[in-house]
Each structure stands twice: as C-alpha cells, then as structure tokens.
Chain A
C-alpha cells in the first residue's frame, strides 16, 4: 500500500477516510487534526498555559508531544495511584518522556501521589470506602487535576480522550439514558464557575488506533500494559462493540459522536448553557471550596470516610 500523499510506503490505512499514509504524512495529518480540533472548539490560544493530565499511556503522552510540537505552553500532571507494579511502570514512562522530550522544551512535570495525600493507594482506598476502584480513581483524578490547574493558574486542563473514548461514553450514556451526563459530553467544557478549570479534549477527532500509530511512528515510549483495575470495565465492552460496527461500516464512530456534537450545538441555541446550569446548581465545598452540587464534595466525603476507616 502506498501513501496517498507521497510516493512512500504507507504505514497505516485509515478506512474511515478511505486513505493511507506514510509515517511523515500520518504525523502531519494527526497534528493538523489536533490543531483543527483546538480551533473548532476554541480550546485555547498560543498565549494560554495548558496543563495536560498524563498517565504514561499512548493518548496522554501523544497529546503532550503534539502540543509541544505545535508550540503551545504546556506542562503535565501525573497522579500516582499506588497500584502495585502498574503505577511504578507508568510513572517511569512519564518521567522518561518528561526528561527526554518535554524538559528540553521548557515543559515541566508535576507528580501527585495519592498515598501521601490519602494514607493509602487507590485499591485499598476503594476497599475501605466500599466503592468500585475505577469510580474512586475517577473522583480522585478529576479532583486533583482541577485543583492543580486552578491553584497554579493554568488557563485550561487537557486530557487525552480520543474518538473511541467519547463514542463509547456516548453509547453508554445513551443506553442508560443518562441525560445529565450527555449534556456534559463536549470536547470543550468552560470554566463555568469560580474554582473550575476549563477542560478540553484535543484528540477527540482521532481514533485510538491512529493515536497509537502516531506514537509508534514518532517513537513515543508509552506503557502498552492495560490498567489491571480496568479488567471487565463496561467501557471496554462498548469500545469492542463500536469497533465491530466500524469494521463493517468505516466511519461509524465518527458519525455517531460528531453527529451528537452537531445536534448538541443546534440545541444549545434554545437550551440553557452548561455555564448557566453550573452557576445555578454549584456551590463551594464546605471543606475544600471546589465547586459541588452537595454541601461537601464527593472527594472530601470520600477522604473523610477513608480517614475514619484507617484510624
């Protein structure tokens, strides 16, 4: 197979675009798509300071690399969850990337260690408070990323969520008719109230396979290993179902998620905006001051329960 843009050998076919690219043209294509996403969703400008949430996996390290290559002012935060073996291997990948690729560009890595903060790693913590590990992990990561972005005056927080993540999440939300979650499923969420950082997903136009191919072509050394806590997760079932549909009809995932975004944009002309809803429903947490719908936010309630159980 030949590259559709130059005479070189193709390294990846992209059936959803009915094309194929060599390594150089794939790199150019993906960086262009990311830049297009940033502009289309008004995510940030070259003057803004961006905090990328990194895990050591392909998506977050690729996002960090692309934003650096595109010349944005970007730093990164890694949350060490304390999962035996897995966390140390993922942290090693992040630290190596920071040292070799990011620091020479003036980009800094911050590490937050859950065990130092909570007195236990994520698995023990989840057991103590009797919540599924992935649910406790999500609460902690969302809280810490927002806290670090807000306290350090970053203009925006970026995550490596891709088209597969968003399409699978959409499928899950539609299957359960979780309308309140559907409303928040946008690649760009505003800093709606005091204490909330703006959140963006610059990889939402790219599939996981395209991002993984970019990482291989550009020698980004990421952790291939899957989080042991994710085994049996619903998201993986939804992704598998969508990939089977994609194999039969290339472009399904894109049509599903982008079609949703088109409809969301049209309905935003008549429905209250995310900011308006947040401003009427959120208030500062009585413990930490981060915005919450309850008196005390879910993170602080979780930490209080964990500290009681640890005594």
Chain B
C-alpha cells in the first residue's frame, strides 16, 4: 500500500514539476514578448505619427501654395478697396480647408476707408461665402499680436491653433505680409483654416480598434481628436488631463501613449494613445493558447506517466510471476528428478536432461524377484504439461509393475488410466521391459517408442513391434514379446532427444552417429554404463554446438551380466529340526560372497523365519510335507524362493506386530514374518497351481 501511495505521489510530483517549469518558461517568454511588443508599438505609433505630421504639413503647405499662386490676383485687386473682397472669395474657393480669409491693410491705406480696413470673406455651413468689412473700434487689428509679429518679422507664419470657445472648432490662421514695390508692408493676409480634418487624418489609420490620435496646442489644449463615434469624449478628456498632468497615470490603467512634436517651438503635440490590453491582445491570445497547449501537454504527460507506471507495474508483476513460476518450476524439476532412480547397481545406468526446467521424459527401473523391471517414456511436447502427464505415467508404472509381471498388461492398465479424460490429446511413447537377471529372458512390450539398441557381438536394434502409444485410445492392445539376452549384452534405451538432437543447421544427431559411439564402446567392454551414457550425451551436445537443446534427452543402459550368477536348492520336510540343515545350506550358499556378518546373518534369519512359518502352519498337524528352497544370486542380489504344497497362505498379509510393548504384554509369537519383511528388500507371494511360492529378495551391494 505504501509503495502504491509513493508511486502515486511521485507521479503527481513529476507532473507538477513539469507544469511549474513550463509555466516559468512561459511567463519569462510572455514578459519578454510583451516588452518587445510595447517597444514595437511605440515605434510603430511614432512612424504613424510622423506620417500624419507630414500629411498635416503637406496640407498646410498646399494652402501656402494656394496663397502664393493667388498673390497676383490679390495685388491686382488692391487697386480698388472693394474689389479686394472678390480676390479673398476666390482664395477661399480655391482651398477647401479654408473657412475664411481677410486682408488687414495698414492704417489709412485707403484714405476713403478710414484708418482701419479689413475685408473678410467667410464660408458658411450652407456653402455660401459671405463678405464683410470687420475692422472697427471693437476689432482693432493693429493691436493683434500676430499682426504685429508679422510686421516686425516680415515673414509668413501659422498661428497656434485657437478656438472661439470650449465647444468651437479649432482654427489656425496663415499670415502673409503683402509688400509694395518698395518692400513696405501694405497689408497682412490671413487665411483661416478649419482644423477639424486633423482629427480625421490623425485617426484614419489607427492600428488598434480603440487607439486614437490627438493634437494638442503647446498650451495643452485639445485641437483635434477622434470622432465621438470612435472614442467617447470622456475618455479623450481624461487622456488630455493626463497629458497636462492634471490626473496621475494610475487613474488611467492600461492606457499608454507616444507623442511627437510638430512645427516649431513652441511645439504642437501629436499624441498617439493606445490601450495596452489591445497591444497585448494577440500575445495574450497566444498565451491563452499556450496555456491550453501546456495543460493539454501535461494531461498527455500525466496520461503517459500513468500508462508507463501501469505498464511498469504490470511488467513487475509479470516478472514477479515469472520468478514465482521459475521457483515453482525449480521445485517441479526437483520433484521430477527425485522421482528418478538416483542410485544405480553396476548393471543399470540412466540419465535424463530436460530441455526446459521440467521434462516430459521418464525412465525408471527396479528389481523384484530377481527380475529387472524397467521403462522409458516420452510425452509429446515438453515443459510442465508433459511433465505432469509423465508423473502420472510414472506412478502408474510403479504401482502396476509391483503386482503385474507382464509388460503388456502393465501397458494395458496404464493406457486405460491415461486415456481417461485425456482432453489435451497428448500421448506417451513407452517401453516396458522385464529382464530375468538369472536366465537373461527379456519380456517387453513397446507402446510406440524407439527401438532399443542391443550391443553384443554386433550392434542391432531390438526387434520390437510398435504398438500405439499410451493415452491415444483406451482399448489399445499391446503385444508382448520375448528376447533372449546373451550374457554381456548391453541394452540401450533412449528417447528421441538423443536421435533428434539438432545442431544450428537443424540437422539431427541420428542413429549412425549413435552407432559410432556404440562401436567404440563395444570394442572396450570394460567401460561402465555411466561412461557409455555420458559419452553419448557429450557427443549429442557437441554435435548440437550452440543450438539450444531441442528436446529432453533421456537414456537408460542395462547390462545382462550373469557372470556371478549362482543357484542352489534344498528340500526340507516340515519339521523344526530341519532348520539346522537350512542354516548350513544358507551359510554355504552365502560363504563365497564374503558378505558382511550382519547382512549374512540377516539373510539367514529372514529365510529361517519364512521357512519356520511354513513348517509350523502350511500342512495339517501330523501330515508330512515337503518344502523346496531355491537360492539364487547374480552378485548384486540374493533371492530365496520357498515352494510348498500346503494350505494357501500369503504371509505378506500378516499384520506387523507391536514391537513397542513391554515384556509382560508382548505375545510370544508373531514376530517371525515381521523379521523377514524387515530384513529383506521385498517379499512376494504367488499361489501357482497347488503351490505356495514365496520369494524373498535382497540387494547385497
């Protein structure tokens, strides 16, 4: 649980860290872009303003040109005071920006007109031009500053913009001295220009929807600005107040402006006002998109981390599972190996090398009643399922061969069991043999397994008929064959893991190569069977080289070696005194074998107890009966066979006495057969015809 929580926390941690880093980067970038954008906006508005200023200058210059072009007309009209009106009207007519024009003559220029004479023409809203003489006591232009300035400086001039009241339009007046031939100023011409177009010019090419241009007098008075429809008057007034320092900048957050000066000192001021919101709008939109992308990216990142973590968890689980399976396979392997015979008498040797951890091959052998029961088998496929089926087959072989001497019958019963509920359709090739260790008679039955090699004077294959493999059909009949094994002969049983061991070129090891090894072995008969098996295994492995082992490799070698075979027999009658003869017989039989004293004494005791049992109980009291005792040995095993014609009696079914009782509670009898069973490796009873046949065997190695 803790680790789950930890991994969850670490995942969230990664996402948060990534988010913080991306956000910091984004903010830095944003600030940078904002600054750059503001600088660019400032630059751009200056460019715009300069172009506007140029346009304004240009407009004014046009008026100046109009004036100069009409100068001859004015001078000509000055010949008569009343004709001056016409010239002024023509002037106004020529320049649409002009709303009025006048000539202010020096005092007494026209004696007929008195001291002051100022003919004036003005454009009315209806488009008509009216004329009047406006000088008089109320309007003495000789006191006018501009008039005096022109007289003094003798040059043309534009007046500062002016208004007739707060709500009036703004005007400027172009002043031009008109000289006589002697350079004396006869009159000053003044042309009034309506500056309302300035507002349109200033606001015609605004970069942002709510930016606007302003023109201010040097005194800070608003001359021209945006139309009311473009910008509310209040807003314009606030900006003007700001520019005049009447309100602090903090009162107008988000408003920024650039300004440029126009004309000469004292300068007019052209101001470009814009809102930072709008300037930043694009970058803000970009940033919003960026944030969206970041969120999206983080979502994808967390999804990926989650996926990664999940995959990793799955991987870990899988590897834990694999490790667990590996552990279990190791256990299965151990169990399977433990089921195999581990100690070998000199005349048998076997080995099994599984291709995977557990294999589908099997071999087994044991001796019973002087006979070697052995088997070898191969389940189709390999690995756990094969091994499981093989374990069942192994158990069945062990159980059945304890009771049944006929290999074909053993196979038949095994097949019945294995066929039942075999849904996986696996089958087993199996060979069961029973070799009489004294006579060399081999009885065998082959359920589809490879024919064993017979190594004697030459090398051949055991002439065995192949029956169907086990577990294929429940009613398969298995033929039993016999073969007389000559002394010194070696039988080699194997699975196809040997013949079909593959090398890198997918070529099989094959029988000819096996035969080569066997020839070598045959020419040196002193070699042990374990030597033969390991030599074959090495040959197969070195043939396969780098190629992985393709199948389980199993071999079982058996040598029929009756060199030390000896047998003897004695016939007793059913009297306890006969036991003395029996003792001598056993001692004489065992003497050449030079056995350990305890072992020899144990063998004698086991036989005596079994024989005494027969003497005491086999025949009716008072009736004489014979008891035949056979003793056999092959050097590895001693077998006693007791044959009598008495009552059928199976001593192997006698219950084991309680050997833990104290002396007073201990029954006097019942110990004999128990001792026999304890001292021998196996005791088996057969009722053959009218005879009881009891076999006692003991390994003596």
- Indicate whether A and B interact: no
Interface, chain A (partner B; CB < 8 A): none
